[in-house]
């Protein structure tokens, strides 16, 4: 009941702000980029609000319980991505005058084939990222209020698509900015409350991790996913219907929806592919991915995927187009580094306390619910319930905000780049896309959401990152080179992930490269683009096309302060040229 009271306002406010955005919507430019009138501070709040998905709100603390302290490298990479964006992409991207990434690609390389390829990559990244969001919505509501899985998914899909179809980017901007503030408060306040509320002994335990080897009390563990356990010695457990079951020493496959009651003093099994909870691998500062024993490679792989992947996420790039000019876009990126840095100081608190207070989640594989499960464990009274409700509301805000941006980028790719059409078609596309994603989310309940998000990030890092970096900073890039680079990046990444999902188990460093293909895919994509481009010849206008991206708009912004030595006639021809460009771009957008 508490949860409904907490989640309902978030959904309602989202819808209300969406309705407010309807008034001033006439063109696709209004719909896709809020007609470029968003100030840097508002925009960076919206970028952060959009970016702090369920993966950040719930996932980071969960990963910390699962993979160890080294999982805190994920948020470091997430925040660092915006610094790279600030340096390399933000201003030139905005100055291209494009509305979506495929638009930008066409403006720079003038290749319709590449534009379509880029649009397909946008579709793929958005789908890979959107499905886990909806899935988490379903799972969180299911865990809290006993509603079936599909209800949460449908609620999420309906509220997101309604807001977007009505209000477009303008509504999304205000919703996301509002939800960033909401998330920040709803994350930090419970964290501080938890620190104050836990006893000194618990805190000391949290800070001095010891291996989780023996159950301290009788512990029921309900498995929500299939998990492979390694049992050290034969253990007798009780199933839900009161029967005794002996788990033999060795590996045991536990099926979904099973509940096992481990007696006090029983030895804790290890989970296949994870380090021992609280062991020395767990508390080490590097990320021992898949328990493979290559912490350095694991850490670097995750950093590469998150830093460079952030740069290529289409919904984030789209947000930069809503800035009024290149300078505002750059400021947006800088503010975002600060805002995200503030937020990411706190997941560690949930992770460290979660290891001590809810260790059974490590076994059941439901580590994503650590954040929501903690308050009730600390304080079983109504106060704990209230904080659980607040955190659930925050989590819901998290996937609403992220889904808004992703669905917008997805619809933009379909209805602006692949099958160009007007405003009405965009609105219909939003709803249709949401329906398809909801259906996909039904099917994806069993999949590990983390793998899908990694896939999305790595595809972004291996396709759009080289495309943007080389497109903006290297005039010799050719359309052929770009196409081959994108294909190689896409191919290598997807091969690795598909092997991890469905192929034979790969051990050691090869297994890490398959699960986190960024260290392989990104250099290969860069190399392909450079080598193929060097074999071809860039068109004569390539240098101009690149330099345009670096020309600042200050003449427009401050007409009184024209450059010294620029004569009057000079200025008028320059203005005419600028205006004709604007008109031509306008023709392509309006309608």
Span near other proteins by CB under 8 A; candidates 187-195, 324-332, 394-402, 515-523: 324-332
Q: Smaller CB distance to other proteins: residue 280 or 446?
A: 280
Q: How far is CA 573 from CA 72, 146, 543, 546, 567, in A?
A: 54, 68, 21, 21, 10
| Binding residue (CB under 8 A) for other proteins from 25, 34, 91, 186 | 91
CA atoms of 281 and 278, how far apart (whole Å): 8
DSSP 92-147: HHHHTT-SSHHHHHHHHH--HHHHHHHHHHHHHHHHHHHHHHHHHHHHHHHHHH--
CB atoms within 10 A of CB 432: 14
Residue 248 contacts other proteins per CB under 8 A: no
Both structure tokens of 407: 């669905």
> If binding is defined by CB under 8 A, does position 77 make contact with other proteins?
yes
Torsion of CA 351, 356, 360, 366, to 10 degrees: -10
What Cα–Cα distance (Å) separates residue 51 from each residue in 45, 307, 582? 10, 13, 31
Determine if 113 is a binding residue for other proteins (CB under 8 A): no
The reply to whether 431 sits near other proteins by the rule CB under 8 A is no
Name the token pair of 536.
């071809």
Binding span for other proteins by CB under 8 A among 30-38, 224-232, 343-351, 361-369: 343-351
Tell me which residue has tokens 């792989």: 301
345 binds other proteins (CB under 8 A): yes
Please give the residues from 533 up to 552 whose contact with other proteins meets the rule CB under 8 A.
541, 544-548, 550-552
Write down the least CB distance from residue 344 to other proteins, Å.
6
Query: Closer CB to other proteins, residue 300 or residue 492?
Result: 300
List binders of other proteins among 479-538 (CB under 8 A): none
Pick the closest to residue 235 from 259, 265, 271 (CA basis). 265
Residue 104, judged by CB atoms within 10 A of its CB (0-12, 13-18, 19+), counts as buried
The minimum distance between CB 543 and other proteins, in angstroms, equals 9
344 near other proteins (CB under 8 A): yes
One of 45, 307, 370, 373 touching other proteins (CB under 8 A): 307
- Using CB under 8 A as the binding rule, whether residue 574 contacts other proteins is answered as yes
Among 279, 341, 491, 523, binds other proteins (CB under 8 A): 341
- Asked if 419 interacts with other proteins (CB under 8 A), we say no
Q: Which residue has the tokens 């059941």?
A: 364
Query: Which residues contact other proteins (rule: CB under 8 A)?
Result: 69, 72-73, 76-77, 79-80, 82-84, 86-88, 91, 107, 110, 112, 203-204, 207, 283-286, 295-296, 299-300, 303, 307, 327, 330-331, 333-334, 337-338, 341-342, 344-345, 348, 352, 420, 473, 541, 544-548, 550-552, 554, 563, 566, 570, 573-574, 577, 580-581, 584, 587-588, 590-591
């Amino acid at each position: 009941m508490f949860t409904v009271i907490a989640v309902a306002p978030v959904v309602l406010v989202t819808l209300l702000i969406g309705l407010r955005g309807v008034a001033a919507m006439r063109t696709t430019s209004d719909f896709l980029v809020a007609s470029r009138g968003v100030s840097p501070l508002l925009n960076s709040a919206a970028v952060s609000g959009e970016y702090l998905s369920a993966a950040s709100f719930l996932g980071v603390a969960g990963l910390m319980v699962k993979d160890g302290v080294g999982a805190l490298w994920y948020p470091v990479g997430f925040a660092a991505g915006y610094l790279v964006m600030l340096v390399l992409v933000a201003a030139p991207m905005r100055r291209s005058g494009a509305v979506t990434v495929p638009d930008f690609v066409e403006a720079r390389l003038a290749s319709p084939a590449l534009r379509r390829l880029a649009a397909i990559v946008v579709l793929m990244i958005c789908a890979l990222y959107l499905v886990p969001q909806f899935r988490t919505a379903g799972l969180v509501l299911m865990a809290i209020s006993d509603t079936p899985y599909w209800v949460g998914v449908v609620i999420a899909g309906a509220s997101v698509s309604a807001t977007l179809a009505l209000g477009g980017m303008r509504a999304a901007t205000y919703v996301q900015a509002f939800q960033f503030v909401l998330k920040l408060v709803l994350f930090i306040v419970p964290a501080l409350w938890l620190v104050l509320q836990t006893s000194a002994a618990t805190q000391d335990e949290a800070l001095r991790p010891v291996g989780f080897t023996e159950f301290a009390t009788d512990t029921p563990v309900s498995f929500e996913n299939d998990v492979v356990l390694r049992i050290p010695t034969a253990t007798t457990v009780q199933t839900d219907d009161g029967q005794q079951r002996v788990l033999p020493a060795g590996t045991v496959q536990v099926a979904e929806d099973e509940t096992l009651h481990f007696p006090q003093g029983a030895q804790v099994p290890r989970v296949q592919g994870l380090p021992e909870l609280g062991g020395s691998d767990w508390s080490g500062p590097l990320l021992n991915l898949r328990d493979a024993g290559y912490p350095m490679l694991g850490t670097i792989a995750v950093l590469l995927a998150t830093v460079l992947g952030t740069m290529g996420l289409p919904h984030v790039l789209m947000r930069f187009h809503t800035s009024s000019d290149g300078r505002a876009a750059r400021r947006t990126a800088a503010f975002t580094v600060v805002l995200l840095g503030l937020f990411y100081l706190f997941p560690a608190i949930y992770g460290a306390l979660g290891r001590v207070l809810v260790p059974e989640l490590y076994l059941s594989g439901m580590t994503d619910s650590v954040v929501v499960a903690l308050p009730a464990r600390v304080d079983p009274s109504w106060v704990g319930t209230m904080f659980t409700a607040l955190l659930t509301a925050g989590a819901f805000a998290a996937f609403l905000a992220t889904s808004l941006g992703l669905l917008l980028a997805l619809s933009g790719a379909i209805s602006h780049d692949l099958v160009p059409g007007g405003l009405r078609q965009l609105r219909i596309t939003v709803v249709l896309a949401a329906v398809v994603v909801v259906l996909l989310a039904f099917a994806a309940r069993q999949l590990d959401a983390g793998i899908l998000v990694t896939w999305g990030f790595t595809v972004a890092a291996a396709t759009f990152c080289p495309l943007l970096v080389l497109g903006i900073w290297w005039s010799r890039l050719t359309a052929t080179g770009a196409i081959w680079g994108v294909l190689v990046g896409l191919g290598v990444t997807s091969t690795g992930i598909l092997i991890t999902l469905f192929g034979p188990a790969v051990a050691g460093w090869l297994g890490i490269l398959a699960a986190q293909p960024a260290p392989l895919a990104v250099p290969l994509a860069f190399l392909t683009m450079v080598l193929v481009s060097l074999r071809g010849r860039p068109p004569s206008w390539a240098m101009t096309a690149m330099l345009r991206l670096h020309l600042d708009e200050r003449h427009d912004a401050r007409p009184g302060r024209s450059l010294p030595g620029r004569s009057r006639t000079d200025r008028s021809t320059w203005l005419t040229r600028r205006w004709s460009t604007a008109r031509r771009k306008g023709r392509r957008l309006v309608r």
